[in-house]
Amino acid sequence: MADLLNAIIRKGGTTALTKPVTRDAILARLRQEQGRSAWHVAEDDSGTILGFQFIAPHHALPPEACDIATFVQTGMTGLGIGSALFDASSIAARDLGYHWINATIRADNTGGLAYYQSRGFEPYALQKGVTLDDGTLVDKISTRFTLD
């Protein structure tokens, strides 16, 4: 997962992450979020990770909402990987007692915005001029998918 995510970070323009992540950092996050989070991985027949998605509580959201993040291997978008991941994550969100899912996307990430819109997410908030770790200024759009 770290290798896949780092390739996306290096490419730039689609994630708010700007610094490489390590395997240990991902494992630490998995341990930290146990309880009300769920992680799903898409693999090919050889075990190569094609994408992953997670839902987890977020300090800026009410307890009935979870945050979602989706990462698909560069060059593999549009093949149904994200759809399969979201099917699993939306079931998990319901099972964990959430009523809605938040996705906050960079406004310049047209692919990400299209992906979440095609799942039924609707915009509800705009953050203008958010400074990323590398100093880049971006706008972010928060979208909502109602599970009820």
Give Cβ neighbours of residue 10 (< 8 Å, ≥ 6 apart).
20
Residue 139: domain span? 2-146
Tens digit of each residue's pLDDT (9 = 90 or more) over 37-88: 999 999 998 998 999 899 999 999 999 999 998 888 877 666 778 889 999 9
Q: Cα(144)–Cα(123) distance, rounded to whole angstroms?
A: 6
CB-based contact 125:65 (threshold 8 Å): no
pTM given for the model? 0.87
Cβ burial, residue 105 (10 Å; 0-12/13-18/19+): buried
Q: Is the pLDDT of residue 10 over 90?
A: no
The CATH number covering residue 78 comes to 3.40.630.30
Tens digit of each residue's pLDDT (9 = 90 or more) over 71-81: 888 776 667 78
Tokens of 13: 């323009």
Give Cβ neighbours of residue 48 (< 8 Å, ≥ 6 apart).
none
Q: Is the pLDDT of residue 18 over 80?
A: no
Q: Which residues of 117-145 are buried (b: 16+ CB within 10 A; e: fewer)?
A: eebebeeeeeeeeeeeeeeeebebbbbbb
Q: Is the pLDDT of residue 102 over 70?
A: yes
Q: For 104, how many CA atoms within 13 A lie in the half-sphere containing its CB?
A: 16
Q: Cα(67)–Cα(122) distance, rounded to whole angstroms?
A: 14
Would you report the helix, strand and coil content of the chain in percent, each value rounded to 5?
A: 30, 35, 35
Q: Give the chain's domain count.
A: 1
